[in-house]
Amino acid sequence: MQLRISHLSKSFQANAILSDVSFETNDTEFVAIVGPSGCGKTTMLSIIAGFENATSGSVSLDGRLLSSAGSDRLMIFQDSALFPHLTTRENIEFGLKHKGMTSHHRRQLACSALDAVGLGPFLHYFPFQLSGGMRKLVEIVRATILTNPAPLLLCDEALGQLDALTRAHTQDVIQRLWMESPRTVLWVTHDLEEACYCADRIIVMSPRPGTVTAELTIPFPRPRDSMLRTSVELQVLRRRLFDLLDAAEPDESERRPA
């Protein structure tokens, strides 16, 4: 899916949150978005998802102008958005069900998808009985199980609440799922290493009002493995990313109190 954001701006009353954001993604591209806290990344994702309206500018997907929420885009939030009253399997099946898949077919699909990420034994657990990492994994499977057409995946700090080890593991699972069924991903994160490790391309945003200040293409071939995390190449990229973010930051004297 080709996403095109052109001249997107958003302000709440007199507060400008986003100012003239433009970028495009290619089909099945994994794009990470990094930027200082409060630069409007979440607002931008909400506008793309159709939960909020832009003040000006437009969002289009494969040439279609988007205005309201639809099942061609799927958001994963920082907090768990699993349905608490449904078991793991029922949560996974929810999207398939509303695509009109028969119950037998979707059950098979859900079970094999859960087995593939090691959640097979937790089929009948309710979300509150799962650990935070498992819950995130279920949510990711619930999103990536949807194919033909695969919805645009919008992730807002999706792994933000996980510990470092679980996070690394989950990143690997996401890469695997993404390679098995490629789709366009917008991946908002604070974690620069995560951005370098997961993405094909990184978009750097400025402090509020947010706009695109730089783009970085990540050259590492896939599949990437954890050796890459500590490699010099990745650390050099991470350093560059950090410098780009730092350069965009206003001087201490100019900054208004947060």
Partner 1 sequence: MKARWFGVLTTMGLLILWIAISGLRLTPELFLPSPARVIGSLWINWPDIVYDTAATGGRALLGFAAGSMLGLGLGVLMSWNRLWFGFLDVVVESVRPVPAVAAIPFMILWLGPTLLAQLLLITLSCGCVVAVDVYIAITTVNPLMVRAAQCLGASRSALYREVLLPIIVPRLSGLRIAAALSFAITVAAEFAGAQWSLGGLIMRARRSLDTETIMLAMLIVGVLARATDLTIRSILRRLSRWAEPTTLALYGLERREHLS
Nearest to 41 by CA among 82, 8, 4, 1: 8
Give 128 or 251: the residue with its C-beta nearer to partner 1. Answer: 128
What residues numbered 108-167 form the site for partner 1, per CB under 8 A? 124-129, 142, 146, 151
Decide if residue 94 touches partner 1 (CB under 8 A).
yes
Decide if residue 95 touches partner 1 (CB under 8 A).
yes
Contact (Cβ atoms closer than 8 angstroms) between residue 49 and residue 218 = no
Please give the Cα distance from 219 to 201 (Å, whole number).
9
We find the least distance from the C-beta atom of residue 258 to partner 1, in angstroms, to be 25
Give 153 or 204: the residue with its C-beta nearer to partner 1. Answer: 153
Give 127 or 207: the residue with its C-beta nearer to partner 1. Answer: 127
Give 83 or 242: the residue with its C-beta nearer to partner 1. Answer: 83
Please give the Cα distance from 3 to 187 (Å, whole number).
13
Decide if residue 221 touches partner 1 (CB under 8 A).
no
Please give the Cα distance from 92 to 146 (Å, whole number).
10
By the 10 Å C-beta count (0-12 exposed, 13-18 middle, 19+ buried), 252 is classed as exposed
Token pair of 46 as six digits: 């909400």
Decide if residue 256 touches partner 1 (CB under 8 A).
no
Among 86, 109, 123, 168, binds partner 1 (CB under 8 A): 86
Q: How many residues bind partner 1 (CB under 8 A)?
A: 30
Decide if residue 83 touches partner 1 (CB under 8 A).
yes
Helix (H, G, I), strand (E, B) or coil at 238: helix
We find the least distance from the C-beta atom of residue 164 to partner 1, in angstroms, to be 25
Among 49, 54, 113, 198, binds partner 1 (CB under 8 A): 49
Alpha helix (H) residue ranges in the chain: 41-49, 88-98, 103-116, 132-144, 164-180, 192-198, 226-229, 232-248
Query: Binding residues for partner 1, per CB under 8 A?
Result: 49, 51, 69, 71, 73-75, 77, 79-87, 94-95, 98-99, 124-129, 142, 146, 151
